Structure 1
């Protein structure tokens, strides 16, 4: 397993070594239709056996059930896992599509206690604010997160979908080890909005979620009808109408490049993300051991400068059609 350094330690030293490819666990419990807890736990076990250390979850996945699943999977194997979880997105039980954010200090502490209990661990390795609360100064939220570090309940701090300016302010309160953002061939926002540059200036690692474009970049999705009725991708702008057709044409070009390279489209897409810098990690999600093995094959794919240029030529920045989230969700990113 290849490893990469996650940010910097609060004393200025380099942060911990984690697997370059982690495992996003969200889809094991939520958003992508039916799930199989037994296979999901087997997939987590297989990941740990193969040297994957970075496991990513959040309290809003389920809600809560994904943390419980991860906690069950790592029981007896805690020393093998670097557990990342998140707080801050509020879900309304009466309206599953409704979202709110909460960054108040008292909520930070309460959310952490809940996550620790569900995960069955004493310390969270990496604790993210899932979305920035515009009603609470980031200094107050990160200040409360820093108190969790001081109390030994959290080791490292992270933010998710925060702007470069917010990251700058947060880093003055406490070192931020990681900034999580969607980053892939069809989502190049961190390059365009100054986020990646800010991470590098501040010594923060970028953790790319949805590096496979919510499964689209694998080439396996050919029609919106491939999604189950309760799969949230049905309501995502990029998977609808003309946007779907335009994006599918781009993916077909990626498939052709992958065939020339002798790898799968998923492996090419993941290799592209990892080629963006040693400070970039990826957390592709999967619910199956076979897909996990395919994803890990990306670690053996080396892309030359010419090959990276060829990929950019067929899938340049801003090529994807449609917003990555519906309007209400997009309102909470890059704050």
Structure 2
């Protein structure tokens, strides 16, 4: 598996990660299936798993995905010492909704809960502030993460759903290694708002969430003519074409496609074998 560095650190990540969210929402697969997916990802060389305290059904189910990943890693028969698990905090799930909560007291508590959910022994590899809450200063919301970093419960800090200005504000307070914002061929805001360019210039890893356009679009990707054409030309699935488009957009991009089936992660990792030309990228952007 091709690898990339996490930001400006010496930590190595697989060039394709595994997004854990589909394994813990209301449509989650059986636990045994989810664990099998994680194990298959590890077999294929995936060494980066993305999760969050809010990847669950609702507040009563908080930290489900973190506990699931910890269990899968514990049960895996191979070496997991190089696996990097990135989690997030700052979103609540009342009645299954997504609500921002940047209250420092809440974040301090949920960081501790994430630490325990992920095993309670080693530091959280990467903790990301899930979304800035306008009710609290960014510095105040990040204070618990900085405390946990200094206490050895977090190794690195990242941001999610942040603008360039917000990233700059956060970096004045604490070292930031990554940004996770929505990005795919149908949602290209990071190109126009400067976030992608900023990450590339500053050496920050950019994790595009919803890399395939979201669950409602994924089932229709095969209906898009240009993706069909490139799939036939290259001998890769339409999903790999989209992931390869992301990788072609910037060297700082590391896709983290979600999976709840073994076949999905097996297909996704093939994207590292596909190199799209500038003309291929142009055709995709003009064709969708």
Instruction: Return the TM-score normalized by structure 2.
Output: 0.91
Give the equivalent residue in structure 1 for 2:208: 208
1:267 aligns with 2:240: yes
Distance 1:34 1:136, change over 3 A: closer
Between stretches 202-211 and 252-261, larger displacement belongs to: 252-261
Gaps of 5+ in 1: 9-13, 223-246, 316-335
Aligned partner of residue 96 in structure 2, secondary structure: strand
* 1:100, distance to aligned residue in structure 2 (A): 2.5
Aligned partner of residue 79 in structure 1, secondary structure: coil
Q: Could you report, residue by residue, the CA deviation over 1:70-89 in whole angstroms, capped at 9, with x for unpaired residues?
A: 11111155414201111111
8 Å Cα contact 2:16-2:255 kept in structure 1 = yes
CA distance, structure 2, for counterparts of residue 107 and residue 127 of structure 1: 15
Aligned partner of residue 245 in structure 2, secondary structure: helix
CA distance, structure 2, for counterparts of residue 53 and residue 139 of structure 1: 31
8 Å Cα contact 2:225-2:287 kept in structure 1 = no
Aligned partner of residue 81 in structure 2, secondary structure: helix
8 Å Cα contact 1:58-1:64 kept in structure 2 = yes
CA distance, structure 1, for counterparts of residue 273 and residue 25 of structure 2: 30
1:185 aligns with 2:163: no
* 1:273, distance to aligned residue in structure 2 (A): 0.7
Match of 1:38 among 32, 35, 38: 32
Gaps of 5+ in 2: 57-61
1:23 aligns with 2:18: yes
Give the equivalent residue in structure 1 for 2:136: 136
Q: Where do 4+ consecutive residues of structure 1 move more than 4 Å?
A: 215-218
CA distance, structure 1, for counterparts of residue 28 and residue 196 of structure 2: 35
Distance 1:34 1:109, change over 3 A: closer
Give the equivalent residue in structure 1 for 2:231: 258
Give the equivalent residue in structure 2 for 1:61: 55
Instruction: Return the TM-score normalized by structure 1.
Output: 0.79
Give the equivalent residue in structure 1 for 2:6: 6
* 1:203, distance to aligned residue in structure 2 (A): 2.3
Aligned-pair Cα RMSD in Å: 1.8
Q: Could you report, residue by residue, the CA deviation over 1:268-323 in whole angstroms, capped at 9, with x for unpaired residues?
A: 001111111221101000111111111111111111122122222213xxxxxxxx
8 Å Cα contact 1:71-1:121 kept in structure 2 = no
